Structure 1
Amino acid sequence: MDCRTIETYTSGAASYAAEWANQPAPDDLYARLTLYFRPQERTVDIGCGSGRDGAWLNAHGYPTAGYDASEGLVRQAAAGYPQYDFGLATLPELKGVSAASFDNVLCETVIMHLPIGQFGPACRRLVELLKPGGVLYLSWRVTGGGSARDPAGRLYSAFDPALVTDALEGATIALDEEALTSSPP
C-alpha cells in the first residue's frame, strides 16, 4: 500500500469518518452485495475505513470483520461500531488475515491507492481469502490520465483494468462493468 496514502488517512481519520458518515448511503453498492453475497456467512471488508459498510453488512445478516491499513481509521471504526471486529492489515499481504476463511470478501475503492506493481499480488491475495465458491466484490475509482495524488496526498493509480482481470485468472467473474457514481472520493 502507498505509505503516504496510509498516513493521509491516519492523520485525517476523524475528518474522513465524519465526511463518510454524512454522505448518502451507497445504496447501489448495498443492492449489489445483497444480490451476490451469501447471507449468514463469514464476510470481510478489506479497506473498511470508518466501518460504515461493515456495520451495514453486519446489520443485514452478513457477519463481517473489517480491516484497514490506517490505524486512525481502524480506531474510528472500532469507536463508531464497538460491537463489531476491526483490525489492522495492509494490502497486498494482509498479514494476520487467514486464507480460505470467508464466503464474502468486499474490497470497495481501495486498490487504486496501491502502486501498480502491487495490483496483481493484492488481487490474488483477496481471492486467497475466499472459501471455495466464495464471492469477491472488488471495485476502484478510475483515474483519467496518469497516476496522481489528490490535494490531501492520496495516491490514485491509473491502470489498465486488465491488470485486475489477469490477476483474477481462474476465478469466475459474474459482473464486470464500468459504472458512474456520484459519491465523492
Structure 2
Amino acid sequence: MDRATHSAYDDDAASFAQDWHDQPPPADLHAIVQNYFLKGTTADIGCGSGRDTAWLTANGFPAHGFDASEGLLAEARHRYPQLTFSHAELPDLAEIAPASFDNVLCETVIMHLDRTEIAPSVRRLLDILRPGGILYLSWRVTPAADVRDPHGRLYAAFDAALVREALSGTAFLLDEEVVSASSGKTIHRLVAKKPG
C-alpha cells in the first residue's frame, strides 16, 4: 500500500472504522456476494474494520480478514473478537499460500496502490484462489490523474483494462461501474471465476 495511505489508516483507525460502521449497509455488495460466491472459505483482503468479514461469516462464507494497517486490524479484532484477522499487504500477500480460498473479496483497496502494483496485486489475488474459485474486486474510480484526499490517502487513476488484462484467462461474471449504495462514490466492480 502507498505509504501515506498506510499511515493515514494507522493514525486514525478508530475514526475510519466508525465511519464505515455508520454508513448504510452495503446491500448491493451483499447481493453480489450471495449471487456469485461459493459456499466456502473467503479471504477479505483489505478488511479494514472487519465489517464485511463479519457479514461474510454470518452468511455462509466463513471469512478470514487481512489488512496492511495494524491500526485497522486492532479495530477489527476489538469489534469482532470471535473472528480471525491477520496482517497481509498487496501485492505480495506473503502470509497467504496459493490456492487457499474458495472466494476472495477485495473491496475498494487497489486504488490505494501505486499504479505499477495494481496488475501484480490482481494476479496475486487470483493466485490465492482455489481452482474454480470466485474473485470479487472493486475500486473507487478516479478520472484523469491520481489524487489524495484530505487524509493523504492515494486514489490512483487507471483504466479498467489494466485489471481485465491481469485477469486474462478467467471468466468474467460481472463487470460494471456504479455508484455504491454504501459510500455514494463511483466504483468499478468485477467478479471473475478462476479456471477449474
TM-score (norm 1): 0.97
1 CA distance for matches of 2:86 and 2:114? 22
Specify the SS of the correspondent of 1:87.
Answer: strand
Name the residue aligned to 1:14.
Answer: 14
- Which AA in structure 1 matches 2:87? L
C-alpha displacement of 1:184: 4.9
Q: Percent identity?
A: 55
Name the residue aligned to 2:66.
Answer: 67
Name the residue aligned to 1:3.
Answer: 3
More divergent stretch after superposition (5-14 vs 173-182): 173-182
Size of the aligned set, in residue pairs, is 184
Specify the SS of the correspondent of 1:177.
Answer: strand
Name the residue aligned to 2:145.
Answer: 146
Measured against aligned partners, the alpha-carbon deviations of 1:104-142 in whole angstroms (never above 9, x if no partner) come to: 000000000000000110000000010000000000000
C-alpha displacement of 1:181: 2.0
1 CA distance for matches of 2:50 and 2:62? 13
- Greater share of residues in strand: 2
Q: Which runs of 5+ in 1 are unaligned?
A: none
Name the residue aligned to 2:127.
Answer: 128
Specify the SS of the correspondent of 1:175.
Answer: strand
- Which AA in structure 1 matches 2:122? C
C-alpha displacement of 1:172: 1.1
2 CA distance for matches of 1:38 and 1:90? 24
Measured against aligned partners, the alpha-carbon deviations of 1:123-172 in whole angstroms (never above 9, x if no partner) come to: 00000010000000000000022001001000000001111000111111
Name the residue aligned to 1:82.
Answer: 81
In the alignment, structure 1 residue 108 sits paired with structure 2 residue 98? no
1 CA distance for matches of 2:5 and 2:95? 21
Q: Which runs of 5+ in 2 are unaligned?
A: 186-196
1 CA distance for matches of 2:150 and 2:17? 18
2 CA distance for matches of 1:151 and 1:145? 18
Measured against aligned partners, the alpha-carbon deviations of 1:67-116 in whole angstroms (never above 9, x if no partner) come to: 00100001100110010000111100011111101000000000000000
Name the residue aligned to 2:24.
Answer: 24
1 CA distance for matches of 2:148 and 2:41? 34
Q: Displaced runs of 4+ in structure 1, greater than 3 A?
A: none
C-alpha displacement of 1:178: 1.0
Q: How does 1:146-165 map to 2 (within 5 A)?
A: 146-165=145-164
